[in-house]
Structure 1
Amino acid sequence: MTRIAVKRVYETAEESDGFRVLVDRLWPRGIKKENLRFSLWAKEISPSTELREWVHGDPEKRWAEFTGKYRQELDSSPDFGDFLEKIKSKPMVTLLYAARDETQNHALILKQYIEEKLS
């Protein structure tokens, strides 16, 4: 079974990260593409621009609702099935994100969603 980890994009890449997937819609600030070790940029399964901008307006009050809305986007995403096919044979997948908040970010929601779909 595929193991899923979550890591800030600014942390050092390690062999144990396995298949590294950038899951942000926007390229992370301060990092050159040639300097980031990643296997796939899956921006199509990140939160929509509208949803991302909405939650950033008041993240503390909107986080619970954001979680539900993002899961709905994943449910209706034509790209999520293709993404799952690409990763399901990998023993280790690390989702890379740029957000500063390590406890409330879309990569954590995505991790849980992927684990549910793989089980």
Structure 2
Amino acid sequence: MTTSLTIAVKRIHDAAAASDGARFLVDRLWPRGVSREKAALAAWLKPLSPSDALRKRYHGETADSDEAWDAFRLDYFEELDAGGEEAKAALFTLDAAAKVGPVTLLYAAKSAERNNALALREWLERRTR
């Protein structure tokens, strides 16, 4: 990815917009109440989502605390750094879309301030430096 990459983050329950560019769901589970048509996805990038164990641990802790959020991000970054072949293929898909135009990472969590899509965007931006 280039340093001029535009990565938006949006809740999947919000309406799709032309400005979203290529839309990628980055959750491990399909969000309730969202049809595949409404989602308007370029792809569902499950390999770039947090592992089930990490997701459950984070939601089991006090997810609103700064300590829990920081711990989640660090653990998630480690998972991303250690990504296998499926994760590499998902990154290739994301990189290819980013070369064409903007991309939007979609999440289902209720928090707009603390969700895996924001953490993934941070990780993606760090790897371009």
**TM over 0.5, yes or no?**
yes
SS of 1:68's partner is helix
Residue from 9, 29, 32 that aligns with 1:29: 32
Distance 2:25 2:100 in 1: 15
- After superposition, the C-alpha distances for 1:43-102 in whole angstroms (9 at most, x for unaligned) are 111000000000111212522111100000000012333223222223200000000000
- 8 Å Cα contact 1:3-1:93 kept in structure 2: yes
The answer (yes or no) to whether the contact 2:26–2:49 under 8 Å persists in 1 is: yes
Show structure 2 runs of 5+ residues with no match. none
Do 1:24 and 1:46's aligned partners in 2 also have CA atoms closer than 8 Å? yes
Aligned partner letter, 2:92: E
- In structure 2, distance between residues paired with 1:5 and 1:118: 16
Runs of 4 or more above 4 Å deviation: none
Distance between the aligned counterparts of 2:69 and 2:94, measured in 1? 27
SS in structure 2 at match of 1:55: helix
Which stretch of structure 1 is more off in the superposition, 85-94 or 15-24? 85-94
Q: Distance in 2 between matches of 1:105 and 1:21?
A: 15
Judge conservation of contact 1:84–1:114 (CA < 8 Å) in 2.
no
Aligned residues: 119
Pairing of 1:26-105 with structure 2 (within 5 A): 26-58=29-61, 59=63, 60=65, 61-78=67-84, 79-88=86-95, 89-105=99-115
How big is the alpha-carbon RMSD for the aligned residues of Structure 1 and Structure 2?
Answer: 1.4
TM-score w.r.t. structure 1 length?
Answer: 0.92
Q: Which moved more, 1:85-94 or 1:13-22?
A: 85-94
TM-score when scaled to structure 2? Answer: 0.85
Using the aligned pairs only, state the percent identity.
40
1:18-66 deviation per Cα after TM superposition (whole angstroms, max 9, x unaligned):
0100000000011122332110100111000000000111212522111
